[in-house]
Amino acid sequence: MITTILNIKGGCSKTLTAEMLARGYAKEGRKTLVVDADGQGDLTAALMP
């Protein structure tokens, strides 16, 4: 399964949605890959320990 979170508008919870989906998929034991294409790197920062 491939899930894509995309919207041009800022501030519409893309990062939070992607983070929660990734964590949920991983918790279910699914292989999970997250690609943070945002220059700010907020999703990467949220997922890295």
Cα–Cα–Cα angle for 28, 26, 1, rounded to 5 degrees: 85
Distance CA 45, CA 47 (A): 6
Q: What is the pLDDT of residue 49?
A: 82
Domain count, the chain: 1
Q: What is the pLDDT of residues 1-49, one digit of tens each?
A: 999 999 999 899 999 999 999 999 999 999 999 999 999 999 999 999 8
Q: Tell me which residue range forms the domain holding 22.
A: 1-49
